[in-house]
């Protein structure tokens, strides 16, 4: 099938974002003439289920007319498609990140997968799946009509937190799954040890912004 005939499913990309480093590695592999395996495609929609990074790499390296070996698969349900998505990606060179696992877990649960099914897919205990599902926030959309959804979150946030869609996008892209106390302890240690690069304007600006934010935070705490 030609690259231009394959569709990229934005929902699957949301669950597992494209990593440009892996795209670059696949491009180099293509140049070396390596066989990178068969692309799994949904027969109904022509959407790529497994191989998005390889398809991106092939398009960049050879163009949209390039032909790739594909396996067309008929999926009975979205749950079955997601399960194949997990099993295929788990066997490839780029492992699923912890946050991708949480997002996929949340999506599988929406489609009536049991914690036991999900645990088997990821090779973990069912208790771990329940922990992933429990780390979540309420996200509010303001598109004419207010709508609330429960979304998976990274570790460290307080329970029962509510945020806007824009705040959630920033959280998923920029935040690390580290509790605030761990980040504060590390930064304090770095400052006391003299490990701060004072000649870096970006670092000094960020520290000044942190100082201002902390002053506001403790003033508000005392007032409360």
Q: What is the mean pLDDT of residues 16-42?
A: 94
Alpha helices in 49-139 (DSSP H): 52-62, 78-90, 98-110, 115-122, 126-134
Q: What is the mean pLDDT of residues 127-132?
A: 90
Instruction: Work out the mean pLDDT of the chain and round it to a whole number.
Output: 92
pLDDT attached to residue 91: 63
- Mark residue 194 as left, alpha or beta (left: phi above 0; alpha: psi -120 to 50; beta: remaining): left
Q: Give the residues across from 15 on adjacent strands.
A: none
Lowest mean pLDDT among 110-114, 124-128, 146-150, 196-200: 146-150
pLDDT attached to residue 142: 78
- Cα separation of 144 and 10, whole Å? 23
Query: What residue has token string 């390596």?
Result: 34
pTM: 0.76
Q: What is the mean pLDDT of residues 215-224?
A: 93
pLDDT attached to residue 20: 93
The SS3 assignment for 33 reads coil
Report pLDDT digits (tens) over 46-101: 999 999 999 999 999 999 999 999 999 999 999 999 999 999 887 665 678 888 99
- Cα separation of 11 and 9, whole Å? 5
């Amino acid at each position: 099938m030609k690259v231009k005939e394959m569709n990229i499913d934005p929902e699957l990309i949301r669950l597992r974002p494209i990593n440009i480093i892996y795209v670059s590695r696949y491009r180099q592999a293509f140049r070396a003439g390596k066989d990178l395996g068969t692309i799994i495609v949904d027969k109904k929609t022509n959407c790529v289920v497994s191989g998005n990074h390889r398809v991106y790499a092939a398009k960049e390296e050879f163009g949209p007319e390039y032909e790739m070996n594909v396996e067309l698969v008929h999926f009975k349900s979205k749950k079955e498609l997601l399960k194949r998505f997990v099993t295929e990606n788990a066997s490839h060179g780029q492992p699923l990140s912890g946050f991708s696992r949480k997002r996929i877990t949340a999506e599988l649960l929406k489609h009536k997968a049991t914690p036991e099914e999900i645990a088997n897919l990821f090779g973990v205990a069912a208790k771990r799946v329940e922990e992933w599902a429990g780390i979540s926030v309420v996200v509010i959309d303001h598109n004419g009509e207010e709508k609330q959804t429960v979304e998976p979150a990274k570790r460290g946030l307080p329970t029962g937190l509510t945020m806007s869609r824009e705040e959630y996008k920033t959280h998923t892209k920029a935040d690390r799954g580290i509790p605030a106390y761990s980040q504060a302890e590390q930064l304090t240690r770095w400052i006391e040890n003299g490990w701060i690069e004072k000649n870096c304007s970006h670092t000094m600006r960020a520290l000044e912004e942190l100082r201002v934010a902390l002053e506001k935070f403790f003033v508000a705490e005392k007032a409360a």
